[in-house]
Structure 1
Amino acid sequence: MTAIHDVAIIGGGLVGASLAIALEGSGLDVAMVEAAPAGAMPAVFDERNLSFAEATVNALAALGVMQRLRAPTGAIVRIHASRRGDFGRVLLEAAEHGREAFGQVVVARDFGEALEARLSGVAGLVRHRGTRFTGFGAVGDGCRVLELAGEGPPRMRARLVVAADGATSGVRDALGIGASRHDYGQVLMVARLRAARAPDGTAYERLGDDGPTALLPRGDRAWGLVHGVAAADAEAVKALDETGFLARVQDAFGWRVGRLLSVGPRSAYPAVAVRAAALAATRAVLVGNAAQSIHPVGAQGFNLGLRDALTLAGLLVACARRGGDPGEASLLSAYVARREEDRRRTLEFSDGLARITANPGHAASLLRSAGLVALAALPSLRAGLVGGAMGYRGDVPDACRSGAAR
């Protein structure tokens, strides 16, 4: 007989794994389909530097994940933003907003290991590793039939299917949900960097025509680098030796942390935004990058996806308590409604910031400069920017507002 689960999560990355943890103790029968085999980490858990907003740190502490990080995190106590060629800058201090830090910088690999340590103790979770989703069978008897390939069963049934399988989501495609795609024409180089000045809690974002150059304060006394280059120049930049690459970053960023001394292995990721046309279909929902992937300027991507997962988890837990159907239409409608404002505002902020900061025109430069001056001068504008950056937009999941551990 084909197994029947209340919830089947397709994808074991950052958002899918977080959702599985959030559903612990709900009484729901939860399965997670993971492409990576046992003993291997999903590719997303690499050397990228993740900037966790305060709301995200609170939620992951409540889920018992932050406590399992083995490497130290880097606190973001101030944010320094400027653009090459424009006048003015924005300096945000956490202390001025009653916070010790705006968030924490975590290396994706370390976060993946902490998630895995936490997942290993989740009672009742069925994990199908080395298994890929290949399509759907018919919908009937209150379930969807999932066709699978790999080490797990060939098929399963679920009352609710959660697509957490990334920006190129096969589940989204199989559901017939379209997605818009915007290529920013940029490639982001990511690496660990050392400079004459060690991190002091400042997160720097230096914007330019080809994208941002950001230095994030890691917990290991190094900087996490994100360097945007024009897509047409990406291969040439990849081919640069360490000296040439450091010279390029120094020219783009300036001397705010002194001379750049060394850089570790570099990875490259195209800056492409994908936005699903809908968040739900019959007995299925989209979360994380399957729902939307955004430009990394402003560091909102994973933070937004985690809020997707936590909102859905809250609805599912409440549904289980009243003995409801986890795939019922009213629950899916509630999920879509609750995610609307946060999703819309975050997408608009990220896309607008990416487009206007990369515009080299004189008029755009004047507009940006005026905006920087206004932000520097008006506390009310800074407060709104800070609230969004810390993850407090729209209908915020309860776990994001409290760091109480389980």
Structure 2
Amino acid sequence: MRSDTRTAYHPRMTLSPPFSPEGNVLVVGGGLVGASLAIALDAAGCRVTLVEAAAPRADAQPSYDERNLALARATVNGLDAIGVWPLAAAQATPIRHIHVSRAGEFGSARLDAATHGVDALGWTLPARELGSALLRRLDACQRLVRLAPASLVGLTQCDDGWRAQITTQEGEQHIDAALLVGADGTESFVRAQLGIGAEVHDYQQTLFVCTVTPERDPANRAWERFSDEGPIAMLPLAERRCGMVLTVASDMASDVAAMNDAEFIALAQHRFGWRLGRLSRPGKRHPYAIRRVAARNLIAHRAVLVGNAAQTVHPIGAQGFNLGLRDALTLAELVAQAADPGSHPLLERYAARRAPDREGTMAMSHDLVRFACMPQAWLAPFRSLALLAYDRVPPLQRVLARRGMGFRGEPPHAVLERVP
């Protein structure tokens, strides 16, 4: 969430009217992670206020060009546990095979759902469909208070929580909360107001996301292919389409953005190869500059960060929302078991539980893009041998599959439930 309103962060002070948090949890940010957290907390019987920057609305009709999400198996389990997945499952496409390779090198790694005893390793889903499912599930919440459109413009810290100054279309409101949750994205206003710094790494890369139609049916197969220029991914979609994610050096981004369809598809074909035959019908291209932003702390006085406010990772492996949902469901699980949702022991437990998953996922995405895309020729045999080991050594493949499906560290119990 961004705000142009000049704000001040006040330390502990006497408030009028009297401060009364009454166990309320204030979630700032109504995106995919914030909405999921609000639903999970409401289902657990917690009092929740959700501040959303945009007014809720159902998106328009499906579009060839719409953005698509890659959801890990653990993510779908979690969405099912909070009642969201049944509202979106009909529009999802299962990923039953994953193929990882590098251009010009002999090694490759393949994952197959049946080998690991599951019906799918993950699913692809239009972001619009997930947003619509979350909106319908939010409408069914019993205790949740939603403020939308609304913006957080000020915070006052007290011994027992926070008083938040919120602007809405009806005017200014003050919300008291025993726990403040920042789920407001990479440029988190909450993170800044809490005084939590962030480590930023600019990859000097730009991502182009679009839909293409391959000559051959992707047949529920996802592809990740690396090269000196960066990774390219293909995700299976309905109607024999693919969601393509093409990474280029930032100094090439303007040239790529200016390409016509024929030029762009020729670049994509060169980078991906011909495993799916000829690519065609590139949809509208959406560029995104890639940065890693990691909060130096996840918790503060009666406050916690989740999702992109806590960490924004390189999109390789599509871990962003998947990691953020595990943040949300872990926090909801702990809050549901506690008398005081903002107590310091609870927040320390949250940070400790999230550390292995968070740090491991960030390290994996960061190290993989560096190791797999470095142009040094001497690295080629080591990369190929590593891929072959993951492909041929069952214990290594099980580790790769488990982490790819979103099971790392001590995951929230909700993601361990099997999809019916």
Same-fold call, TM > 0.5?
yes
Does the CA contact (< 8 Å) of 1:72 and 1:220 recur in 2? Answer: no
1:154-233 mapped onto 2 (5 Å cutoff): 154-233=173-252
* Deviations 1:332-362, CA, capped at 9 Å, x for gaps: 1110111111111111111111111121111
Partner of 2:62: none
CA distance in 1 between partners of 2:283 and 2:217 (Å): 16
Aligned partner of residue 263 in structure 1, secondary structure: coil
C-alpha change, 1:389 and 1:165, in structure 2 (3 Å) is: same
Partner of 1:83: 102
Partner of 1:108: 127
CA distance in 1 between partners of 2:284 and 2:144 (Å): 36
C-alpha change, 1:211 and 1:48, in structure 2 (3 Å) is: farther
Query: Which residue of 373, 380, 387 corresponds with 2:388?
Result: 373
Does the CA contact (< 8 Å) of 1:70 and 1:114 recur in 2? Answer: no
RMSD: 1.7
Aligned partner of residue 408 in structure 2, secondary structure: coil
Aligned partner of residue 222 in structure 2, secondary structure: strand
Query: Which residue of 24, 32, 36 corresponds with 2:54?
Result: 36
Partner of 1:122: 141
Post-superposition offset of 1:38: 3.6
* Deviations 1:44-79, CA, capped at 9 Å, x for gaps: xx9322111111111111111111117521111110
Query: Which residue of 301, 314, 322 corresponds with 2:320?
Result: 301
Query: Which residue of 410, 415, 418 corresponds with 1:395?
Result: 410
Aligned partner of residue 371 in structure 2, secondary structure: helix
* Deviations 1:89-147, CA, capped at 9 Å, x for gaps: 1111111111111010111111111111111111111111011112312324x120112
Partner of 1:11: 29
Aligned partner of residue 238 in structure 2, secondary structure: coil
Does the CA contact (< 8 Å) of 2:43 and 2:82 recur in 1? Answer: no
CA distance in 2 between partners of 1:314 and 1:138 (Å): 25
CA distance in 2 between partners of 1:172 and 1:151 (Å): 24
Letter in 2 for 1:222: R
CA distance in 2 between partners of 1:259 and 1:403 (Å): 37
CA distance in 1 between partners of 2:158 and 2:226 (Å): 48
Is 1:354 paired with 2:369? yes
Aligned partner of residue 59 in structure 1, secondary structure: helix
Aligned partner of residue 128 in structure 2, secondary structure: helix
Query: Which residue of 245, 259, 263 corresponds with 1:244?
Result: 263
Is 1:386 paired with 2:415? no
Does the CA contact (< 8 Å) of 1:128 and 1:151 recur in 2? Answer: no
Partner of 1:24: 42
Does the CA contact (< 8 Å) of 1:70 and 1:110 recur in 2? Answer: no
Aligned partner of residue 200 in structure 1, secondary structure: coil
CA distance in 2 between partners of 1:200 and 1:303 (Å): 23
Post-superposition offset of 1:40: 6.9
Query: Which residue of 271, 275, 279 corresponds with 1:256?
Result: 275
1:328-343 mapped onto 2 (5 Å cutoff): 328-343=343-358
C-alpha change, 1:190 and 1:105, in structure 2 (3 Å) is: same
CA distance in 1 between partners of 2:249 and 2:164 (Å): 40
Letter in 2 for 1:219: A
Partner of 1:269: 288
CA distance in 1 between partners of 2:262 and 2:416 (Å): 44
Post-superposition offset of 1:179: 0.4
CA distance in 1 between partners of 2:235 and 2:297 (Å): 34
C-alpha change, 1:368 and 1:336, in structure 2 (3 Å) is: same
Does the CA contact (< 8 Å) of 1:77 and 1:93 recur in 2? Answer: yes
C-alpha change, 1:133 and 1:216, in structure 2 (3 Å) is: same
Is 1:98 paired with 2:113? no
Does the CA contact (< 8 Å) of 2:56 and 2:135 recur in 1? Answer: no
Does the CA contact (< 8 Å) of 2:155 and 2:162 recur in 1? Answer: yes
C-alpha change, 1:298 and 1:38, in structure 2 (3 Å) is: closer
Does the CA contact (< 8 Å) of 1:71 and 1:219 recur in 2? Answer: no
CA distance in 1 between partners of 2:134 and 2:25 (Å): 19
Q: Count the aligned residue pairs.
A: 396
CA distance in 2 between partners of 1:365 and 1:150 (Å): 56
Percent identity, please: 44
* Structure 2 residue runs without a partner (length 5+): 1-16, 60-64
Aligned partner of residue 43 in structure 2, secondary structure: coil
Post-superposition offset of 1:248: 0.7
C-alpha change, 1:167 and 1:283, in structure 2 (3 Å) is: same
With 23-32 and 172-181 compared, the bigger mean Cα shift is at 23-32
Does the CA contact (< 8 Å) of 2:214 and 2:240 recur in 1? Answer: no
CA distance in 2 between partners of 1:316 and 1:10 (Å): 16
Aligned partner of residue 78 in structure 2, secondary structure: helix
Does the CA contact (< 8 Å) of 1:212 and 1:227 recur in 2? Answer: yes
Aligned partner of residue 123 in structure 1, secondary structure: coil
Post-superposition offset of 1:199: 2.3
